């Protein structure tokens, strides 16, 4: 019978341990102590769960304003920011990323979409700003996505599995390993699919808005054109007639 020792570095183990303690201890001070431990455990677990973060938002940026969003990032790992202007005349916006110290690491002016990968050299709140102050009348709808990846690429379930109790039988252990690997890779690929889907959805929304604008423009300007045509025709006839009507000094 082979028994794997619990990986004592696993954050999950800390959490599980604390929950088990909570269940088993009695008495008020005991529980308070456990709660304190839980707090510490949470801090640990937050850093591991928070690493597989993927946030995406679409928001309206009124004309002449700027909007900023903040993302907490830890020291190691990467942060990928992707943005796209979905609607608005001109379809462009100024984009900046600032470090927690306030240094601009990325600045783009009047772009309609962009992708940036930032490697945080210091932990803290990174500021992602969109600026629409150059436009006086048109408001922009901006879609952006922040993907935070942990140290070793995508954080899948590696830490999760380490704290598991192995059942008896090495054959079952092999099968479990296989299942674990497949599930991890499946999870990672599905996450990637979901992210790509989000991006494609943003592209489609942008194209659709553009097309609806085009349709409105075609109808409006066609009507205007016809009206102008009719006005000009009437004016021409009227003017020519007037030329010959008022003055009687037309020679015959």
Partner 1 sequence: MGFRGVGVLLQCYLMLAAAMFFDLGEQEGKCIIEEIPEDTLVTGYFLLEPWDMKSVTSSPHLGVTVTVRDPNHEVLMTKRYGKFGKLTFTAHASGQHYLCFQSNSTRFSVFAREKLKLHLDVQMGEHTIGHSTAKTKDNMALLESSLRHLLEQMMYIIRQQEYQREKEEVFRQISEETNSKVLWWAVVQTSILLSVGFCQMKRLKDFFIAKKLV
Residues 144-183 that bind partner 1 (CB under 8 A): 146, 157, 160, 163-165, 167, 176, 179, 183
Locate tokens 């304003």: which residue?
65
Number of residues that bind partner 1 (CB under 8 A): 74
Contact residue for partner 1 among 22, 105, 162, 199 (CB under 8 A): 22
Question: What number of other Cβ atoms are within 10 A of residue 127's Cβ?
Answer: 16
Residue 131 CB, shortest distance to partner 1, in Å, is 15
Contacts (CB under 8 A) with partner 1, residues 26-65: 31, 34-35, 38-39, 42-43, 45-47, 49-50, 53, 55, 57-60
Residue 67 CB, shortest distance to partner 1, in Å, is 7
If the CB atoms of residues 55 and 107 are measured against partner 1, the closer one turns out to be 55
Residue 46 CB, shortest distance to partner 1, in Å, is 5
Give one DSSP letter per residue of 137-151, joined into a string: S--EEEEEEEEEEBT
Q: Does 197 bind partner 1 (CB under 8 A)?
A: yes
If the CB atoms of residues 54 and 108 are measured against partner 1, the closer one turns out to be 54
Residue 134 CB, shortest distance to partner 1, in Å, is 21
Site mask for partner 1 (CB under 8 A), range 217-236, x = bound: -xx--x--xx--xx--x--x
- With residues binned 3-state (H G I as helix, E B as strand, rest as coil), the percentages for the chain, rounded to 5, are 50, 25, 25
Longest dimension (CA), the chain: 126
HSE-up of residue 141 (Cα within 13 Å, Cβ side): 12
- The Cα 188–Cα 26 span in angstroms is 41
> Smallest Cα–Cα separation from 85: which of 125, 126, 132?
132
What is the DSSP-derived secondary structure letter of residue 24? H
Residue 9 CB, shortest distance to partner 1, in Å, is 16
Contacts (CB under 8 A) with partner 1, residues 79-108: none
- The Cα 6–Cα 1 span in angstroms is 16
Q: Does 185 bind partner 1 (CB under 8 A)?
A: no
Q: Does 237 bind partner 1 (CB under 8 A)?
A: yes
- The Cα 88–Cα 213 span in angstroms is 9
């Amino acid at each position: 019978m082979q028994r794997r020792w619990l990986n004592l570095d696993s954050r999950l183990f800390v959490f599980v341990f604390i929950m088990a303690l909570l269940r088993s201890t009695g008495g008020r001070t005991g529980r308070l102590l456990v709660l304190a431990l839980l707090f510490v455990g949470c801090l640990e677990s937050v850093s591991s769960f928070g690493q597989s973060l993927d946030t995406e938002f679409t928001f309206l940026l009124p004309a002449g304003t700027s909007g900023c969003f903040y993302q907490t990032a830890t020291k190691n790992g990467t942060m990928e920011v992707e943005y796209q202007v979905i609607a608005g005349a001109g379809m462009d916006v100024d984009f900046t990323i600032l470090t927690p110290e306030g240094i601009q690491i990325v600045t783009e002016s009047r772009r309609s979409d962009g992708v940036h990968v930032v490697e945080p050299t210091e932990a803290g709140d990174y500021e992602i700003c969109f600026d629409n102050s150059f436009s006086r009348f048109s408001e922009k709808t901006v879609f952006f996505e922040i993907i935070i990846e942990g140290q070793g690429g995508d954080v899948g379930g590696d830490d999760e599995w380490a704290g598991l109790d192995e059942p008896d039988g090495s054959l079952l252990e092999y099968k479990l390993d296989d299942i674990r690997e497949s599930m991890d890779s499946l999870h990672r690929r599905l996450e990637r699919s979901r992210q790509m889907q989000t991006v494609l959805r943003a592209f489609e929304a942008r194209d659709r808005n553009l097309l609806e604008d085009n349709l409105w423009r075609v109808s409006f300007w066609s009507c205007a054109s016809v009206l102008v045509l009719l006005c000009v025709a009437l004016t021409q006839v009227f003017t020519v007639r007037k030329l010959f009507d008022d003055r009687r000094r037309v020679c015959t």
